[in-house]
Every structure is written in C-alpha cells, then in structure tokens.
Structure 1
Amino acid sequence: MNSSKDIILDWRLHVSVLVVTVISELIGIIKLPIGIGAILLLPLLYAFVIGVLINPNVVRKAGAWLGQREVKAASPLIVIAIMPFIAKFGTIIGPSMQQIIDAGPALILQELGNLGTIVLAFPVAVLVLGMRREAIGASFSIAREPNIAIIAEKYGLKSAEGAGVMGVYVIGTLFGTFIFAILASLLATSGLFSIEALAMACGIGSGSMMAACSGALATAVPEMEETILALAGASNVLTYATGLYLCLFVALPLTEKLYELFGKKDLNAGENA
C-alpha cells in the first residue's frame, strides 16, 4: 500500500498527468455533427484515452514508464482531483437555490430512474448473457460505492452477487465518464430534452460521471452553465441521500423477485463465485 508521502513524491505519475492534461487541452473541443445532434469531444475524453494507452495493464510497453506502483497511487488521487469541481458546485447551489426548489418534485421523482438498470439490464443479463446470480449484483443499481456496500453487507464480495457488482463497478469506472460525456453532448444538441432535465440526469451518484456529464452540457450550452452545474450538483447530492435507501428497500428486493420469476432458482443467495 502506498503511503501519502509516496503518492505526493511520485514524480512520474504527476509528470504523466501534466503532459496528458496539456496535450488534451491543446487538442481542444471537437464538434462532430451526426444526424439529430452533434457529439462534442472534450479534453476529458482525450485524457481518458491517453490515460488508457499509458496504463501498463492495458498497453504492456507503457510499463517502461509507469509501473504498478504508479497505477495504485493514481486511484486515491481521483477523489482528490475531483474535489475542486465538487467545491465549485457548493458555491453555485446556494445562489441557485430557488431554481432547485422550483425543480423539487422533478429532482425527487428522477430517483425512480435508478430502477431503469433493472428494467433494461437485468433481462439482457439473464436471458441473453446467461448470467445467474451475478445478474442481481450487476443490474440492481449503477454499481457505485454505496451499492457495493449493500452487496458486501448482504452477500459478501466473494459471492456471485459480489462478482456482478464489482464487474459493473470496474467497467463504470473505466468507461462511465466517456459514455456520459458523449451522451450528454449528443442529447444537448439534439433538442429532444430540456437542458434542465439533462442536468438533473447527470447526478447519478458518481462524482466523475457527473463532472463529465455536466461539463459536456455546459460546453454545449455555455449560457446555462450555472443552472446546469447547480441542478447536477443538487441531483447528485439527492441521489447519495435517497438512492441508497431506494436500492436497499426497492431495487434489490425487486431484482431478487425478478430472478425467481425468471425461473433462476438453481443457485443459493450469496453463493461463492
């Protein structure tokens, strides 16, 4: 385990981040018109791609520059790096409180959207991919930290359900910000949804995904930047506050029931993967 001092003094990691940031900012924003809207390629996306390419776990030759020590040190820095962005939300939410209050019912009801993972993903996981109890952990939520805690407490992370939730967590961490940024820019320029609705949809309980989503929206509609950041920040906080209970008392029992209805009774709950 790397100590705080090791992380701070890890010059290869910091130089890599600086170079990736400079390259990404120099490329700038690229707009790709497609059909009903346009995809905005943001510096965040370039940084993601370059970061993958210099990861020794992905490109073996990158190990000549970055090793497992740097990879492990990078993980805790993600939270630190996103703190200034979260702090910015705090300064914006206050002055925009009236807008948030006006959107109150919509912010609360949008939590029902968290059940969409069950409706969309669970049938695919069970019927198409042939997953068993892994499907419960994988599809009852978006598999962020609070959701992992629920599965760990009820089944254990070495269970089939634990394997499912951790699998989605890893994929979400790797590709979630990329997908969110693309979707946000496409939908923002399509005119199919209001910008306020899209801003609220950014707050799903993931700081990095929210940052990518709201950043793409703010770039597409710069005149509404403060409104976008305020609604996204408030939505994210609300998701953390209520999403845990929704997953615990509604989503997880519902997924368990669906698993039984689909005729998947051959594995015991909490069976080791």
Structure 2
Amino acid sequence: MDMLRDWRVHFLCLAIVLVSELIGKLHYGFIVLLPMLYAMLFGGIISWPSFKILSEKNMKAATGVMSAALMLLVVKLGLDIGPKLGILKGASLALIMQEIGHFLGTILLGLPIAVALGMGREAVGATYSVAREPNIAIIDDKYGLDSPEGRGVMATYIMGTLFGAITVGFLASIVAYFNIFHPYSLAMGAGVGSGSMMAAAVGSIVAIYPEEATNIQAYAGAANLMSSVLGIYVYMFFSLPFAAKMYVVFSKMMGKKVEPETVLVEKA
C-alpha cells in the first residue's frame, strides 16, 4: 500500500495525462499520433536518471501502481465482452482463424530470433503476443513487471507504441499497392488489437481502394474486436505457455543457457 501513497508519482501521472489529452489526436497522412504516445514520451523524459526527477523508489512505486491500473483495464475488457458476444458468434471462420497468425508470427518467427540475439526469459514476454495492454496485464499477473518476462513485454509494448503505427501503415500501403491480397483480407490483417495500428493500416488500404472504404473499415473493426476479446484468452491459455516451452526448445537447439522460469514471490 505504500506505493499508493507516493504522491509525486500520482501528481506527475496526472500532469502527463492532462497535457497529453490537451494535445489530442494528430493525423499526418496515414499516421495517427495518439495521446498515449505523448504520455509515454513524457514519462520517458521525466524518468531519465540524469534529470533526477524520479528516484528508483518512485519508479518501483510506479510499477506497483501500474499493476493496479492494469487490473481495472482487464475488468473493463471483461465487461466489454458480454454485449459483443452476439457479434463474435456471427463472425466468420476467417476472422477467428486469424488469431492463429498472431501467435505463429510472434512465437515461431520472433522467438527464435530473440533467443539467437541473446535474450533470456525476456524473449518469452516480448514474443508471446503483439504486446498491447491486455498482454501486459497477463504477464504482470503471472510473472510481475519486474521479471525478465515483464521487461520483455514492456519493451515490445513501448516499441509498438513508438513505431508500430508507422511500420504497420507503411507495410499495409506496400502490400496493398502490389494487389497481392484482397482488400478485405488486408482489412482483417489490420485488426491486430491496437487502435492506432489499425487506424494507420486502414488509412493506407483505403487510400488505394477508396471505393471499398466502408467495407474495409467494417472488416478491420470486426477483426480488431476479435483480437481484443478472443485474443486475450488465446494469449492466456495457449500462447504464453507455448512460448515458455518453445523458449526452452530454441535455447537448447542453439546451445544457449536456459534461464529458469520466473517465480512470482511478490504475489505468491
């Protein structure tokens, strides 16, 4: 409970949120800059050790506060699921099957690369998902954000926030330009569970297929809903355990030292 009494952390968080919301959403072509991005940049600046604005004690308190905030986020996601069960029931098989691509891409492609680059258990948190807010909550609940897995998921989350929309928007424009896939397939691929990334990708696709704008937005929205609602269960009960086991397999194959799985003492 001491972490909740760190008023410096609360005051700075409030100030960052207010400034970020005042700046608001900015559009630059297909690139959409959200207040979350500014908040992360401001947070990185004030936590820079050289500035001595926050102490290590303050940062540890902030980690605890974030864990509490993530609990509220997961409750909100759970409350959002009920009213949308009808939409999910009527979703086509293609929308459901796209969740397979999310964990196959991150785990079977990303995990071995991470292990080869020398990452330890951080590779599990970094590659078991697309590392958005619900995925952070899952890692926090199982391992804690101070764990290697916690550092891994936070690193991917930060990179996704800073560069995700730009990368996805640019990639979507290239693939759409060469007309390799149907625009509806591209729209479904845009729904990765991130609002900013989806908006950037949809903007690029619509620019090339303006006559299909309404349908593209509808398919992307449905796919994003599936990723947000169904995805959290896929990540929790399949992707994370699978990534943890594959980390051991890839580490042994590459002759790397296998780090033991994190034991969450704080929440035991």
Flag whether TM exceeds 0.5 (same fold). Answer: yes
Residue matched to 2:108: 119
Q: Give unpaired runs (5+ residues) of structure 1.
A: 25-41, 60-67, 69-96
Residue matched to 2:196: 208
Per-residue CA deviation, residues 150-182 of structure 1 (Å, 9 max, x unaligned), is 111111110000000000000000000001110
Residue matched to 1:176: 164
Alignment partner of 2:31: what SS?
helix
Is it true that 1:192 corresponds to 2:184 in the alignment?
no
Per-residue CA deviation, residues 226-267 of structure 1 (Å, 9 max, x unaligned), is 001000001111111111111112111111111222326642
Residue matched to 1:163: 151
Residue matched to 1:235: 223
Show the 5 A alignment for 1:11-26.
14=22, 24=28
Is it true that 1:222 corresponds to 2:210 in the alignment?
yes
The answer (yes or no) to whether the contact 1:150–1:248 under 8 Å persists in 2 is yes
Q: Give unpaired runs (5+ residues) of structure 2.
A: 1-9, 46-53, 55-86
The answer (yes or no) to whether the contact 2:145–2:151 under 8 Å persists in 1 is yes
Q: 1:8 to 1:57 in 2, by over 3 A?
A: closer
* TM-score w.r.t. length of structure 1: 0.66
* TM-score w.r.t. length of structure 2: 0.67
Identical amino acids, percent of aligned pairs: 42
Alignment partner of 1:130: what SS?
coil
Give me the whole-angstrom Cα distance separating, in 1, the residues matched to 2:21 and 2:233. 38
Residue matched to 1:137: 125
Is it true that 1:268 corresponds to 2:260 in the alignment?
yes
Q: 1:235 to 1:13 in 2, by over 3 A?
A: closer
Question: What's the offset of the Cα at 1:123?
Answer: 0.6
Q: 1:161 to 1:8 in 2, by over 3 A?
A: closer
Residue matched to 2:241: 253
Per-residue CA deviation, residues 207-241 of structure 1 (Å, 9 max, x unaligned), is 11111111211122111010010000011111111
Per-residue CA deviation, residues 96-152 of structure 1 (Å, 9 max, x unaligned), is x9xx95x7111111110111100110010001x110100000011010111111111
Alignment partner of 1:260: what SS?
helix
Give me the whole-angstrom Cα distance separating, in 1, the residues matched to 2:213 and 2:127. 32
181-190 or 260-269: which moved more? 260-269
Residue type of the alignment partner of 2:133 = E
Residue matched to 1:109: 97
Give me the whole-angstrom Cα distance separating, in 1, the residues matched to 2:13 and 2:159. 27
Alignment partner of 2:158: what SS?
helix
Residue type of the alignment partner of 2:231 = G
What is the CA RMSD across the aligned residues, in angstroms? 3.5
Residue type of the alignment partner of 2:31 = L
Question: What's the offset of the Cα at 1:17?
Answer: 5.7
Q: 1:123 to 1:237 in 2, by over 3 A?
A: same
Give me the whole-angstrom Cα distance separating, in 1, the residues matched to 2:131 and 2:115. 17
Per-residue CA deviation, residues 36-87 of structure 1 (Å, 9 max, x unaligned), is xxxxxx2526x69xx88xx67899xxxxxxxx9xxxxxxxxxxxxxxxxxxx
The answer (yes or no) to whether the contact 1:160–1:271 under 8 Å persists in 2 is no
Residue matched to 1:44: 31
Aligned residue pairs total 208
Residue type of the alignment partner of 1:154 = K
Q: 1:194 to 1:153 in 2, by over 3 A?
A: same
Give me the whole-angstrom Cα distance separating, in 2, the residues matched to 1:252 and 1:8. 31
